Structure 1
Amino acid sequence: MTTRVAVFGNGSWGTAFAMVLADAGCEVSLWGRRAALADAINSSRTNPDYLPGVALPAGITATADAARAAEGADFAVLCIPSQTLRENLVGWTGLLPAQSVIVSLMKGVELGTAKRMSEVVAEVAKVPEERVAVLSGPNLSKEIAARHPAAAVVACRDEDAAVRFQAACHTPYFRPYTTTDVVGVELGGAVKNVIALAVGIANGMGLGDNTKASLITRGLAETTRLGLAMGADPHTFAGLAGMGDLVATCSSPLSRNNTFGMNLGRGMTLQEAVAATKQTAEGVKSCESVLDLATRHGVEMPITETVVSIVHEGKPPLVAVKELMSRSAKPER
């Protein structure tokens, strides 16, 4: 029997992952809020707004009707900006089949509540944690759409559900692994966006590879500290959802967060950087909620604090860097 998957979100990552699912043999319904874009996808077999020129597999059908997308879905994949999840999911919850597994591709922490995306899904959709999965890893959408070899990790409290989704998205170029550490996988995906902003700011300031390597390494350290305080497996942060995603997001020009940070480092205002980036850079809003999460758990995250001070408090990057470097000396661990 063919696996049916509803993908909610037809941006670049949602569309690229829909391609993975279709290439793996799934029947995919790709939802987006604009009917005109859905029609264009179906007629041209491309997504002209987000992945122009990339031919989509025959197994993908686009729609602006959420009920139609959800009908009969074995998996419902959510790929929308993290801060819009709660509002959107309220309207979708009643449409999802009772036994469908809900899969989050989102990498953020909710503002105000400091909840991880899987927590928001379980709360709003009123489903047990065993029906909520997360996929993360070094997955830049344009490279996935070009079918360059990549790996990811599927996390779910129910290992059988993780294995089923692993099979649903396993292709010759996309290799998913499984874990039950949902907390670690989600934190790795959310915090790496904040660290990528820091690395981008350093790039924009003209700082060198030593600076960037230091930010990546210490960024991983503070991510791991938070993860340990929240009960995550420390090994997760050395894996695809931790170091793997962090390296890709901090080093690639395809990374929205890296690009956004670079624009700030070059002297743009927050508003100018938003206009220049055009697509959502999750770390811009999530840096505040990540810092909130750290405060709630009594965890020190100096790089995250520095990013918040630059992005939301208007502190000049040069001043912020000097303050970060002037912190008291201490052991590495």
Structure 2
Amino acid sequence: MFDQDSWRARIAEQMHKFTRNPQQEIQISGTSSVLGYLAVRTLEPFLHAFQREPVAAVLTLAEMVQGPGADIIVRRAGRIRFQLSTLIERELRSQAELRSAVEQLIVGLNVIHLARQRLNSSRDEWLRVTLLAELDGYPPTELEQLRRLLHDPGWQSRYETIRSLRQREGIYTAADLVLLHDGLNDSAAHVRAAAARMLGLFASTPPALLVKALTRVALYDCDLETRYAAARTLGLLGDRIASPQLIDHLSLCLSDADPFVRSAAALALGQLGELAGTREIVGKLTDLIGDRDPYAREAAARAIGRLGVAAATTSVINALLRAMEDEDANVHDAAIDAVTRLRKVKATLPLTVSKANETMPV
């Protein structure tokens, strides 16, 4: 049944492409402004639900917006569904009531947060500045909630609050852990990265919910700095969190359809090092060296070099030697580094252990 949660979830799904290339996605959508794009993405789930569950759709809308603007949306829902992208900007500019209703929906459904959540810091700032400039084209007494939301310097204060946890020297209270969890889900990349780093200083074993949030950031965050900070923290927490379930999850992600996720999973496994050194992981990372995506190939090579004894086999080293001929310079360098590491490991192994390692079935 259509409700606010399902409405918000559908908006979040639609925002996935936006976070990869915001400006291109705005053009593809048929709009020419950030506000128009956000309005389209906000209204689309309602218009779709209105065709299937009109009563539930209208009741859900009424929970958040009432008045002339909501009436306009309901009256025109059937007609504008397939023309929304071409009509929305003109309608917003000409009808103050509709502007007010759309603003309430954008704020009430946390659309700005959903849009900014996975943007890296530069794109996040682009979104904020561009949208503020667009809002300047409307009367200053209108769209005040959006203006306040965008002018909110909250991420800086949240960033400093999280960084101040360094003074605790890893002894965190329950409230501190809640703060870190919220930080990992923050819309600002700087805050997410800071939360990941501070979690890495935790002197005890973090709750499963925090580990889950940290893993999600390490795998899916679109900001490289944030993703690396989360992966590094997975490594720092190491034996306290390296459960079979976590290793299996990262192993599955090595086969993900998205090369972005494959490379992130390899990065995380590399940070876990020998704790992730199972034969299955070694085999999958070795296969990933031949991936079509150069970032995945590089991440796989670097990860293999950190897995220790399990990866110090002739077949793995031979695969890395072939990777040294890769046309991508970063893959080449990663393969050289991995071969150097594994040869050092192999040289320290007793002969019997080395032979057993070569013949052990995968």
Could you state the TM-score of these two structures normalised by the residue count of structure 2? 0.31
**Rg larger in structure:** 2
Structure with the greater relative contact order (CA < 8 A, sep ≥ 6): 1 or 2? Answer: 1
- Output the TM-score relative to the length of structure 1: 0.32
